[in-house]
Amino acid sequence: MGDFQTSSLIDDEKLSARADKPLSALPRPFLRWAGSKRHLLPYLVDVLPKRFGTYREPFLGSGSLFFLLQPHVASLSDSCEALIDTYGAVRDGVVNVMSHLKQWKPDKKLYYAIRENMSEGRFKRAAEFIYLNKTCWNGLYRVNSDGKFNVPFGLPKSDAIADPNNLRACSALLRQPGIRLFCDDFDAALESASQGDLVFLDPPYVTSHSNNGFLEYNEAIFSWSDQQRLARVAKTLLMRGVHVIVTNADHKPIRDLYRGFDIKRIKRPSTLASDKAKRRIVSELIFHSAR
């Protein structure tokens, strides 16, 4: 059973106030991430348990819900090793990371130079990851068959790469003794989840396709069999007494996978299309265990 001596209590009013102003809260995500749940935070607050043991997030990305909750004990993971390495570098050497970041402004030539030749040093490489993330197209993380980051320059509207105050606040939270970072598949990352823990599952979304319901890109990074495997893990956790929250796109095959969960449906404008005129209204689902 989760260790309730170190459990986190939910203050709905405080969390809702922070969720409504995600761009001014400290700490807040220091990365942009395609599929970030910043826009869903007010709705996620509504389905959180009143109390939980270990917070577990195996699709970490920008960590929007983690930074909102600021839990006492957390198990944070992702299958993207470069992402976890960056979190670890911010935790262990935020001053070193900032010393590199403060020298750089958005610049197309610099962007491609860094993208093609990333450094070997741990802290400079983390700074480069943050720089590329903040200046690439839409915060997308994508690598080619050789494992090299290949997202194009994104014409950022601001020179701001990182807020030093926020980066220090993120580092302080990550340094708390109950916070653990590691790289692993979601299945392995959740093996030790126990009764009373809170698990937030935010996988790559299912995306409509005229042939089979999925874009080739999504199929490559998170296949339908992965979606099925995740749903089985979620149901196993639910039966174990774990608080479970899952997000995904609103498609019938996904709804069918999560029968037995409570469902909240959210509609919002899409943010991924490069042309604002082509951004349509999308429907998202939040599956959750009873509060």
Query: Torsion angle of alpha carbons 161, 71, 186, 63, nearest 10°?
Result: -20
Predicted pLDDT of residue 8: 86
Burial-class residue 123 by CB neighbours within 10 Å (0-12, 13-18, 19+): buried
CA 248 to chain centre: 13
Look up the pTM and report it: 0.90
- Average predicted confidence (pLDDT) for the chain: 89
Predicted pLDDT of residue 51: 94
Q: What is the pLDDT of residues 176-235, one digit of tens each?
A: 999 999 999 999 999 999 999 999 999 998 875 434 444 433 445 788 999 999 999 999
* Percent of the chain at pLDDT exceeding 70: 90
> What is the C-alpha to C-alpha distance for residues 194 and 178, in angstroms, rounded to an integer?
16
Domains of the chain: 8-79+184-288 (3.40.50.150), 83-166 (1.10.1020.10)
CB 190 within 8 A of CB 238: no
Predicted pLDDT of residue 5: 46
247: its two tokens: 């997000």
Predicted pLDDT of residue 3: 46
Q: What is the pLDDT of residues 97-152, one digit of tens each?
A: 999 999 999 999 999 999 999 999 999 999 999 999 999 998 888 888 888 899 99
Mean pLDDT of 18-47: 89
Rama region for 146: left / alpha / beta (φ>0; ψ in -120 to 50; rest): alpha
Burial-class residue 98 by CB neighbours within 10 Å (0-12, 13-18, 19+): buried
